[in-house]
Amino acid sequence: MQDDTPRGRAPRPRPAASRAAPRTAKARRTRDAILTAAIELLREQGYERATMRAIAERAGVSVGNAYYYFRSKEELVQAFYARTHVEHLAVALPRLATQRGLRDRLLATMSAKLETVEPYHPFAGVLFRSAADPASPLNPFSEESREVRDEAIAHFAEVVDGARGSLPKDLAREMPVLLWTWHMGVMLYWVHDDSPGRARTWTLMRETAELIASAVTVAKLPGMSPLRRKLVGVVRGMLSVDGHDAGGAS
Amino acid sequence: MQDDTPRGRAPRPRPAASRAAPRTAKARRTRDAILTAAIELLREQGYERATMRAIAERAGVSVGNAYYYFRSKEELVQAFYARTHVEHLAVALPRLATQRGLRDRLLATMSAKLETVEPYHPFAGVLFRSAADPASPLNPFSEESREVRDEAIAHFAEVVDGARGSLPKDLAREMPVLLWTWHMGVMLYWVHDDSPGRARTWTLMRETAELIASAVTVAKLPGMSPLRRKLVGVVRGMLSVDGHDAGGAS
DNA sequence: GCATAGAATTGAACACGTTCAGAAACCGAC
DNA sequence: GTCGGTTTCTGAACGTGTTCAATTCTATGC
């Protein structure tokens, strides 16, 4: 009865960047109108109801024109997604400044994330669906997501750096990626969580944050360095790709 | 130029079971013909080229008839998926019988999995895309996947049980789920891995298997029980849902 | 044998994301 | 101002997954 997700004949091969940059002021206004309409409709109606036709209509342009500025509906969604990332940072940073313990700093960041993202839970599933496709620009491991991903990892570097207490150097280097992975795992759980107020995810977040903090303490113990070295080796191997780094494989 | 993935107006609300069971022998033959055609086409042409029209044509029926027996294209894919699961067990079990160390038993199972699944890597992305949607029957946490999931977890229970050496009881209870999660993580990496022969995934598998085995040894150490208790608590909290168990949240 | 209820089957129709050939608007050069 | 090239924009058309009213088939009761 309802609608599904992407359809039509779609190109798997993704060319290069976003699209021809608007040359004139009017063109820029058109692009903005489309993006704004898309974001509004996504917020108001969710992914499936926000059809390309509806977006184009609200923006006062033709469907074809929307595709002139954005290569796909997914790209539109990505812009929307990037905006929530900015929101997250805005909430997380001040909160982070008040905490010095690792566990509390993890909670500061992650709770900001959960709060920011809560309004979109109803259609988070569809978003995740797109995000899981390795070919999708929304994929957290994709080249197109690199900027957002690197920023997020850098953010976790700050989380670690600002925390009191020291870390073994080898582990310290991999901590940001490790924490980013943790954060992705929590988000994966969140997507599937339909408990009221996402209570279960909040619990998971708290417990795992504590677990991580405890594990870090343990990791400093003298007998732990072989295990730690193994862990560090795995993380490094996961990321390095023929010289340059990346998330996921390849 | 190529095609995308699911399209058309699709129903998010999933009714109950598979579909009306075929009443007559002829009906059963029709159902089988559709399923066989679907599996063949998926193998030969991949997800996108295996359109419902093509499947129906090969089976010698109308599209509508395919939808009489299967609620969606995804359900057809799920049948295909279940078959690879059976293949996996067939390869893994004899191999498992020859190993007694935990690390080697993990490798036996997981390498069987990677081998079984390798032929489908070209369109694994699309499969994963569907699988990521919480509403999809393909989702590893979904009710529809419960059977396959429980079997897989039970399989990991066997992997642990058959290993020499003992485990702290609390940890032993959660090990199967933990290992199943590990296995899912490796598969996630695999989907994104385009290194030749999936070499990077094989490396990750070997290193993480070793890491797990080491961590288990460490977990037995006297000072470790608080950390272990926390871990066990997290895992239990993740799974229990208002009494009954489930993967994911909810 | 026949009628009939239910199962099985059909295929046109729908809404979707996406494409594309061409129309329109714009801009600099003369 | 008007020509020529480029950017911007249009909307019909395509192929998809899915639905559904209508049709055919089938087994069972008489």
Q: Is B46 left (phi over 0), alpha (psi -120 to 50) or beta?
A: left
Task: Please give the model's pTM, rounded to 2 decimal places.
Answer: 0.81
d(Cα A116, Cα A85) in Å, to the nearest integer?
8
Nearest CB neighbour to A11, from listed B2, B131, B234: B2
- Give yes or no for CB of A67 within 7 Å of strand C: yes
- Model confidence pLDDT, tens digit, residues A112-164: 999 998 988 877 877 777 777 787 777 877 777 788 889 889 999 999 999 99
Question: What residue ranges define each of the domains in chain B, with the CATH number in brackets?
Answer: 16-239 (1.10.357.10)
- Spell out a b/e string for B114-139, using b for 16 or more CB atoms within 10 Å of the CB, else e: bebbeebbebbbbbbbbbbbbbbbbb
CB-based contacts of B32, cutoff 8 Å, min separation 6: none
Q: Do B4 and A7 touch (CB under 8 A)?
A: yes
- Give yes or no for CB of B27 within 7 Å of strand C: yes
Q: What pLDDT score was predicted for residue A54?
A: 98
Catalogue the E-assigned strands of A49-98. none
- Model confidence pLDDT, tens digit, residues B3-38: 333 333 333 333 344 566 777 888 899 999 999 999
Helix A199-219 to helix A169-192 angle (10° resolution) is: 170
User: Which window residues (65-84, chain B) lie with Cβ within 7 Å of strand C?
Assistant: 65, 67-69
d(Cα A19, Cα B108) in Å, to the nearest integer?
47
What single-letter amino acid sits at B245?
Answer: D
User: Which window residues (35-54, chain A) lie with Cβ within 7 Å of strand C?
Assistant: 50-54
Catalogue the E-assigned strands of chain B. 240-241, 244-245
- Give yes or no for CB of A6 within 7 Å of strand D: no
β-partners of residue B244 are: B241
Q: Which of B2, B127, B133 should we substitute to test contact with A (largest number of A Cβ atoms within 10 Å)?
A: B133
Q: How far is the CA of B38 from the C1' of D26 (A)?
A: 27
- Chain A: residue whose CA lies nearest to B197: A250
- Model confidence pLDDT, tens digit, residues A46-104: 889 999 999 999 999 999 999 999 999 989 988 888 888 888 889 999 999 999 999 99
- Model confidence pLDDT, tens digit, residues B161-207: 999 988 999 999 999 999 999 999 999 899 888 899 999 999 999 99
Residue B227 pLDDT exceeds 70: yes
d(Cα B39, Cα B44) in Å, to the nearest integer?
9
- Model confidence pLDDT, tens digit, residues B70-121: 999 999 988 888 888 888 999 999 999 999 999 999 999 999 999 999 988 8
- Chain A: residue whose CA lies nearest to B203: A237
Mean pLDDT, residues B242-246 taken together = 41
- Spell out a b/e string for B46-55, using b for 16 or more CB atoms within 10 Å of the CB, else e: bbbebbbeeb
- Give the model's confidence band at B129: pLDDT under 50 very low, under 70 low, under 90 confident, else very high: confident
